[in-house]
Amino acid sequence: MALRARITGWGKYLPQRILTNRELEKWVDTSDAWIRSRTGIRERRIAADDETASTMAVEASRQALEVAHLNPKELDLIIAATVTPDKVFPACASLIQHQLGASKAAAFDLNAACSGFVYALATANQFIGAGGFEKVLVVGTDVYSRILDWRDRSTCVLFGDGAGAVIMEASTQGGSLSFVLGSDGSGADLLYVPGLCDSTLVANDHHYLTMNGPEVFKFAIHTMVGATKQVVETAHLTLDDIDLFIYHQANSRIIQAAAKSLSLPPHKVFINVDRYGNTSAASIPIALCEAIEEGRIQKGDHLALVGFGGGLSWGAMVVEWDSDPLEKNV
């Protein structure tokens, strides 16, 4: 029987520092009312000076390992989805591996911006399905506060820092049922951060995130609707069979517009962007953890995880949840 990848552990980390919309009003020409009405965001977390993508990831990963009853030395592979690694190289995943003491694990980073976590889940699924890798740590971690222009109101109000992690293990039942990944590089200029080797960066000393908000907004709704339909169909299910939709948390208006287009009942759509803003690759695993904590995921449920972001890119996965959240694992 073909091996599937099943989620057996989960964890999240949010920095302590809360940055409210009211505080942002003092820095840029914005208002709490504008941010809330256009995005649904009330506050976000900001990493302390000594926190990085790898240190946040380690906190989330330790929780995930504990839930899965795993010793870090049992891990075969670590995939870190991030676009804000501590260093260009070595990989953030290597730093995580060392901090965890996961001495047996191979480690690499995956860059698919806000779609990164779903891309990494799909990658772990393929490694496990092909055999040879049984226990994989997948972590989404981003520290956008370091790449935002805090004078640019059109971007700085939208993002926050955080990390989320899951353990995926080989199984013959449950787990990932289907996934869809996509990319449209023709939209690369709509959402980007210049790289170290980008000549415009050298010329303009501009290393901040740049975004065409309205264009990304349209792309996001269109893509989330299409990817949701496709991934559910690929799993031989219908939208009604999905118990919870966990979308990338960028803007509650985007999530609600996609949900409306798909006629999803609001109680089946998870939203926590109000408290964390857009945490990029961390947003889906953080939302997954909170959905579990809130008792919104039960054994036997079908989940749809759907992300979109820079690339432009998108990724979706249907998961049959066969861990018992109350027992913290089976």
Q: With respect to ligand UT7, which residue has the nearer C-beta, 34 or 208?
A: 34
197 catalytic per annotation: no
Residue 190 sits at φ, ψ, to 5 deg, of -80, -20
Catalytic annotation on 98? no
Nearer to ligand UT7, 65 or 220 (CB): 220
Structure tokens belonging to residue 1: 């029987």
Is 286 a binding residue for ligand UT7 by CB under 6 A? The answer is no
Q: Could you say which of 157, 264, 286, 304 contacts ligand UT7 (CB under 6 A)?
A: 157
Is 90 a residue that touches ligand UT7 (CB under 6 A)? Answer: no
Amino acid at 155: T
Cα(199)–Cα(227) distance, integer angstroms: 35
- Expressed in percent and rounded to 5, the helix, strand and coil fractions of the chain are 40, 25, 35
285 versus 309: smaller Cβ distance to ligand UT7: 309
Containing 101, the helix (H) or strand (E) segment is none
Can you tell me which of 17, 42, 62, 153 binds ligand UT7, judged by CB under 6 A?
153
Q: Does 34 bind ligand UT7 (CB under 6 A)?
A: yes
Q: Pick from 18, 25, 30, 274 the residue near ligand UT7 by CB under 6 A.
A: 30
Taking the least distance from each CB to ligand UT7, the nearer of 52 and 249 is 249
Which of positions 170-229 make contact with ligand UT7 (CB under 6 A)?
Answer: 191, 211, 213-214, 216-217, 220
Residue type, 213: G
What's the CA gap between 57 and 139, in Å, rounded?
A: 6
Under 8 Å between Cβ of 305 and 289: no
Q: How far is the CA of 72 from the CAs of 59, 62, 157, 161, 288, in angstroms? A: 13, 8, 36, 24, 22
Residue number with CB closer to ligand UT7 (175 or 309): 309
- For ligand UT7, the closer of residues 257 and 304 by Cβ is 257
Q: Which residue is nearest to ligand UT7 (CB)?
A: 213
CB-wise, 153 or 229, nearer to ligand UT7?
Answer: 153
- Interface residue with ligand UT7 among 278, 279, 313, 323 (CB under 6 A) is 278
Is residue 251 at the binding interface for ligand UT7, with CB under 6 A as the rule? Answer: yes
Q: Where are the beta strands (DSSP E) in the chain?
A: 4-13, 17-20, 43-46, 77-81, 106-110, 135-143, 161-171, 175-183, 191-192, 210-211, 244-247, 269-270, 302-309, 313-320
Active site residue 222: no
Binding status of residue 154 toward ligand UT7 by CB under 6 A: yes
Q: Which of 92, 114, 156, 289 is catalytic?
A: 114
Cβ 248 vs Cβ 115: under 8 Å: yes
Least distance from ligand UT7 to the Cβ atom of residue 157, Å: 4
In the set 83, 93, 110, 114, which binds ligand UT7 (CB under 6 A)? Answer: 114
Cis peptide before 72 (omega within 30 of 0): no
Q: How far is the CB of 280 from ligand UT7 (least distance, A)?
A: 6
Shortest distance (Å) from residue 213 CB to ligand UT7 = 3
Maximum Cα interatomic distance, the chain, rounded to a whole number of Å: 59
d(CA 240, CA 268): 10
Catalytic entry in 21, 125, 278, 289:
278
Pick the catalytic residue from 21, 156, 248, 272: 248
Asked whether the bond before 312 is cis by omega within 30 degrees of 0, the reply is yes
The DSSP code for 266 is G
Contact set with ligand UT7 (CB under 6 A): 30, 34-35, 38-39, 114, 153-154, 157, 191, 211, 213-214, 216-217, 220, 250-251, 278, 309
Q: Where in the sequence numbering do the catalytic residues fall?
A: 114, 248, 278
